[in-house]
Structure 1
Amino acid sequence: MDQTIQAAALVTPSERQLVWQEMEFYGFIHYTVNTFTNLEWGHGSEDPAVFNPAELDASQWVEVCKSAGMKGLILTCKHHDGFCLWPSRYTDHSVKSSPWKAGKGDLVREVADACRAGGIRFGIYLSPWDLHEPTYGDSEAYNAYFLNQLRELLTEYGDIFCVWFDGACGEGPNGKRQVYDWDRYYRLIRELQPNAVISVCGPDVRWCGNEAGHTRTAEWSVVPASMRDNEKIQENSQQADDGEFAKRIHSQDDDLGSRDVIRDAGELVWYPAEVNTSIRPGWFYHAEEDDRVKTLDELLNVYVRSVGGNAAFLLNLPPDRRGLIHENDAKRMGELGQAIRNMFPVDLCAKATAAASSELDDRHGADKLFDGNSDTFWRPLEGMEQAELIIDLQEKQSFDAIILMEQIRLGQRIESFVLTWKDGEEWKALDQGTVVGYKRICRFGKVSARYIKLTITASRWFPTLRSFQAYLSH
């Protein structure tokens, strides 16, 4: 047994990472002075007087998110322009200097409260780059300023599921390049919100590598520890809104965790992927994009490839100048939620049984695939890296999707698999894939069969499977 591969099989997620992964799908809200100046990136010199939404309704944002099946919402509390959506004690460049609610408003509070009332979770985005703050570029002074603002957000708005940092970085007004004190940022978050994941420029959740909705064929959660520093390296950071950054897809980065990659990588960590994209071409609202909302098929494809490809899906919804998510976006979100529900209506494995080529013991038998318990799972004997499971649906059923889920509390192990269905005495191909991880959604043309076979053709040390589900979409 290759000791490196065995060690890789033992890398497991933290509890906060597990809770985050189970959210699967959540929203991004980009809203600031840019909404009113029709810019993607502000300049930091905007007059707070431009921020004055007349109909802002955070509960509408939450209801739109829920209509699509989202479990949370991340608010851009401060973008690169430095304008704060809460009345920060450390700057006047905030809602308190705007005419909105006569300077008495606090949008972060309104969104946090609306999330709690609506039963979804609340997260924050805080841009380290600040084009307004005069201390930016004076690294020690600005880091103190940033930590003060971060403390406000972490202590005054209840439980936070995610702190989302990007790595955009440019020169300050003094011509100096700011050096972010990431370790101090992380320590403060761990102290004040220990259950929050720190995403992208953080140790818990990694960026998939583009903002175009592109996903990898094999998305490994176990990757070299060096991946944690990729987005923090200043020379690779985004320094201008050039329109190309969002589209970049590095094909050479398609393999982050195969045996060949990790064998010489040194330390390995659990660092799962998040796929983020916007429902429109821009991240902030632009009226000229009202008819450029992504189609239902586009959104469904990203959902299946991300949530069904061992990643999470973060979809941006930019409210308009009224302070509402536009009718076109809201309609599409409702359609997306219905389409997802229609895709997976009733699990046809509710009464199924299964036979496995190997089982460790009775507590890890193939029957655990159908018990609905996220803590139980099937596994074979140690060292058995290939295995076979035959699922008996008890009667012939028609289906066009299968969902596989590993028990990732024990690591990510499955490297490749094949699905077949029994037609008379012949086994015919259904689908094949690489990794499974938290969830793998397999879609194919409708077939009718009683028996389905899952052949795990490669895994690390031994595979696990906590759930096998089959569906016929409406």
Structure 2
Amino acid sequence: MTTVQKSNLQASANAPQPFGAIPNTAQLKWHDVELYGLVHFTPTTFENKEWGFGDADPKIFNPLLFDAEKIVLAAKEGGLKALILVAKHHDGFTLWPSKTTAYNISQSPFRNGNGDMVKEFADATRKHGLKFGVYCSPWDRNSRLYGGPEYLKIYQQQLTELYTNYGDLFMSWHDGANGGDGYYGGALEKRAIDNTTYYDWSNTWAITKKLQPNASIFSDVGPDVRWVGNEQGFAADTSWATFTPRPPIGLNVAVPGQLYYPESPKGTRLGAYWMPAECDVPLRQGWFYHPQEKPKSPQQLFDLYLKSVGRGAALDLGLAPDTRGLLADADIKSLKEFGAILRQTFSTNLASQATIKINSIRGANFNSDNLIDADKNTFWASADQHNTAQIELNFPHEITFDLINLQEFIALGQRVDSYKIEVEQHGKWETVASGASIGAKRLIHFNKPYTTKSVKINLKAPVAITIAEIGLHKVSL
């Protein structure tokens, strides 16, 4: 819970009690980001592959026009608020001059062997107001030590270097890359590991918590942010921020790369942990740049935004610089137009014009004005005895909208488990949407615009209801 949220809650002894698992401070900051990117750029780019084998000559990595600021600015114009850099992919090549391996950027011609791409990205993101995170693949197809006990020390030292030399991180990103075939120092063989023990995740993530206490840790099983279970960029329509990771049927342990994935898109109602979903998807068809591929259109990106951020999750968009070290013009154009859609759609909240009538108000600190004050650190709350709510927005003149934005005050947990939206049409109430979860954000885009002077939002929860914001918007496509 942030300082602002704590102070608001402390302002009244009448605040609702937390419900179920609740987010920690790092998770609340992660929720604020909503939309960010994952940058893949290694020698694999120059090989035109998706997975490097670990045997590429470092000398091929020579992006003559590389400019981290241009990539960051394109991302920012697309509405992204952070970038995660793949500092090391499965090929084992580190984009910083790591002391743990000779297979690093200092062996390439980039910056005459004096380059540090992690630093350049870290500096560029902070210069332009974006947050920064890193991914360091646990699988290393180059290292001759991979599969043995010595490699774990190398991997943990690589994380330590990233955590101590590049400032505050908003996220440490991990996946379930659990071995396979590779170069392995020339052995050219397949290596398997015990994915339940080899990476020693509890102690490995303890390094994160010690050195980067403000960073959220992402993996299939969290502990802070969970993988949504697909690389297509969407969460389930009903998506809970709480989750109880379970192993696959017949196995005993849930770890990265080993999980009962059918539950990941939806989460677990009343799950043991606050572990919201990240929806990752590449801007192009692959995570690395391939000349023959095209980026998703701005309209496709907005649809993914609705199905991820609009379902209480986050959207992690894969960005792939080309061999110049820049994003392709088509990628920049798509990002720019997507960002324009977001800015134009959400620049005006028609709900701010409404007079609000509610069947239950907890007290002065939690009144209906908080619903349309553009401040998600304030909220309306019902009385404890009221776990159903009817919020009616009445307007002095007709408005036309085709998107509604609902946000719970998630610092007190995800409470609502049923919503119904009604619009007054020709003197009668018409149900236009209904569902279960709201969470950090629920965006509902209707298939047609509605013109009306009254909108009604019906909510149910097991406990007192808390809503931070209501928005009515007209999508700009």
Q: Same fold (TM over 0.5)?
A: yes
Which of 209, 219, 232 does residue 255 from structure 2 map onto? 232
Q: Where does residue 11 of structure 2 map in the other structure?
A: none
Letter in 1 for 2:125: C
> Is the Cα–Cα contact under 8 Å of residues 284 and 318 in structure 1 kept in the other structure?
yes
Letter in 1 for 2:435: G
Which of 115, 133, 151 does residue 143 from structure 2 map onto? 133
Greater shift, 392-401 or 130-139, is seen at 392-401
Which of 151, 164, 168 does residue 155 from structure 1 map onto? 164
1:109 aligns with 2:119: yes
SS in 2 for 1:450: strand
CA distance, structure 2, for counterparts of residue 378 and residue 121 of structure 1:
30
Q: Where does residue 314 of structure 1 map in the other structure?
A: 316
Q: CA shift at 1:281, angstroms? A: 0.9
> Is the Cα–Cα contact under 8 Å of residues 200 and 231 in structure 1 kept in the other structure?
no
CA distance, structure 1, for counterparts of residue 443 and residue 88 of structure 2:
36
CA distance, structure 2, for counterparts of residue 102 and residue 213 of structure 1:
38
> Is the Cα–Cα contact under 8 Å of residues 8 and 268 in structure 1 kept in the other structure?
no
CA distance, structure 1, for counterparts of residue 109 and residue 441 of structure 2:
47
Q: CA shift at 1:231, angstroms? A: 6.7
- How do 1:235-246 residues align onto structure 2 when only pairs under 5 Å count? none
CA distance, structure 1, for counterparts of residue 20 and residue 246 of structure 2:
18
Q: Where does residue 166 of structure 1 map in the other structure?
A: 175
CA distance, structure 2, for counterparts of residue 466 and residue 233 of structure 1:
34
RMSD: 2.2
Unaligned runs of 5+ in 2: 1-15
CA distance, structure 1, for counterparts of residue 56 and residue 383 of structure 2:
64
- How do 1:186-205 residues align onto structure 2 when only pairs under 5 Å count? 186-201=205-220, 202-205=222-225
> Is the Cα–Cα contact under 8 Å of residues 8 and 222 in structure 1 kept in the other structure?
no
Q: 1:447 to 1:13 in 2, by over 3 A?
A: same
Which of 448, 456, 470 does residue 453 from structure 1 map onto? 456
Cα deviations across residues 215-257 of structure 1 (Å, max 9, x unaligned)?
20111011225489987255669xxxxxxxxxxxx66665432
CA distance, structure 1, for counterparts of residue 104 and residue 253 of structure 2:
31
Q: Where does residue 244 of structure 1 map in the other structure?
A: none
Q: Where does residue 91 of structure 1 map in the other structure?
A: 101
Which of 196, 211, 234 does residue 231 from structure 2 map onto? 211
Which of 347, 350, 363 does residue 349 from structure 2 map onto? 347
Q: 1:440 to 1:164 in 2, by over 3 A?
A: same
Q: CA shift at 1:471, angstroms? A: 1.4
> Is the Cα–Cα contact under 8 Å of residues 419 and 431 in structure 1 kept in the other structure?
yes
Q: 1:323 to 1:122 in 2, by over 3 A?
A: same
Q: Give me the TM-score of the superposition, normalised by structure 2.
A: 0.89
> Is the Cα–Cα contact under 8 Å of residues 174 and 219 in structure 2 kept in the other structure?
yes
How many residue pairs get aligned? The number is: 446
> Is the Cα–Cα contact under 8 Å of residues 37 and 82 in structure 2 kept in the other structure?
yes
SS in 2 for 1:220: coil
Cα deviations across residues 396-420 of structure 1 (Å, max 9, x unaligned)?
2111111111000110011111111
CA distance, structure 1, for counterparts of residue 337 and residue 449 of structure 2:
23
CA distance, structure 1, for counterparts of residue 360 and residue 289 of structure 2:
55
Q: CA shift at 1:296, angstroms? A: 2.1
1:82 aligns with 2:92: yes
Cα deviations across residues 440-473 of structure 1 (Å, max 9, x unaligned)?
11111211212110011x3132221111111123
1:257 aligns with 2:268: yes
1:278 aligns with 2:282: yes
Q: Where does residue 129 of structure 2 map in the other structure?
A: 119
Letter in 1 for 2:454: Y
Q: CA shift at 1:342, angstroms? A: 2.4
CA distance, structure 2, for counterparts of residue 327 and residue 231 of structure 1:
42
- How do 1:314-463 residues align onto structure 2 when only pairs under 5 Å count? 314-444=316-446, 445-456=448-459, 458-463=460-465
CA distance, structure 2, for counterparts of residue 8 and residue 15 of structure 1:
15
Q: 1:452 to 1:203 in 2, by over 3 A?
A: same
Q: CA shift at 1:297, angstroms? A: 2.0
Q: Give me the TM-score of the superposition, normalised by structure 1.
A: 0.89
Q: CA shift at 1:153, angstroms? A: 0.6
SS in 1 for 2:351: coil
CA distance, structure 2, for counterparts of residue 253 and residue 159 of structure 1:
28
> Is the Cα–Cα contact under 8 Å of residues 16 and 195 in structure 1 kept in the other structure?
yes
Q: 1:372 to 1:340 in 2, by over 3 A?
A: closer
Q: 1:467 to 1:230 in 2, by over 3 A?
A: farther
SS in 2 for 1:384: coil
SS in 1 for 2:466: coil
Q: CA shift at 1:352, angstroms? A: 2.0
Letter in 1 for 2:309: V
Q: CA shift at 1:151, angstroms? A: 0.9
> Is the Cα–Cα contact under 8 Å of residues 67 and 333 in structure 1 kept in the other structure?
yes
> Is the Cα–Cα contact under 8 Å of residues 298 and 338 in structure 2 kept in the other structure?
yes
CA distance, structure 2, for counterparts of residue 189 and residue 414 of structure 1:
33
> Is the Cα–Cα contact under 8 Å of residues 246 and 259 in structure 2 kept in the other structure?
no
SS in 1 for 2:421: strand
Q: 1:208 to 1:185 in 2, by over 3 A?
A: same
Q: Where does residue 4 of structure 2 map in the other structure?
A: none
Which of 216, 220, 240 does residue 240 from structure 2 map onto? 220
Greater shift, 74-83 or 464-473, is seen at 464-473
Letter in 2 for 1:120: L
CA distance, structure 2, for counterparts of residue 96 and residue 176 of structure 1:
30
> Is the Cα–Cα contact under 8 Å of residues 348 and 393 in structure 1 kept in the other structure?
no
Q: Where does residue 77 of structure 2 map in the other structure?
A: 67
Greater shift, 226-235 or 301-310, is seen at 226-235
CA distance, structure 2, for counterparts of residue 391 and residue 198 of structure 1:
39
Q: CA shift at 1:130, angstroms? A: 0.5
CA distance, structure 2, for counterparts of residue 254 and residue 155 of structure 1:
33
> Is the Cα–Cα contact under 8 Å of residues 78 and 127 in structure 1 kept in the other structure?
yes
> Is the Cα–Cα contact under 8 Å of residues 404 and 436 in structure 1 kept in the other structure?
yes
> Is the Cα–Cα contact under 8 Å of residues 167 and 231 in structure 1 kept in the other structure?
no
Q: CA shift at 1:208, angstroms? A: 0.4
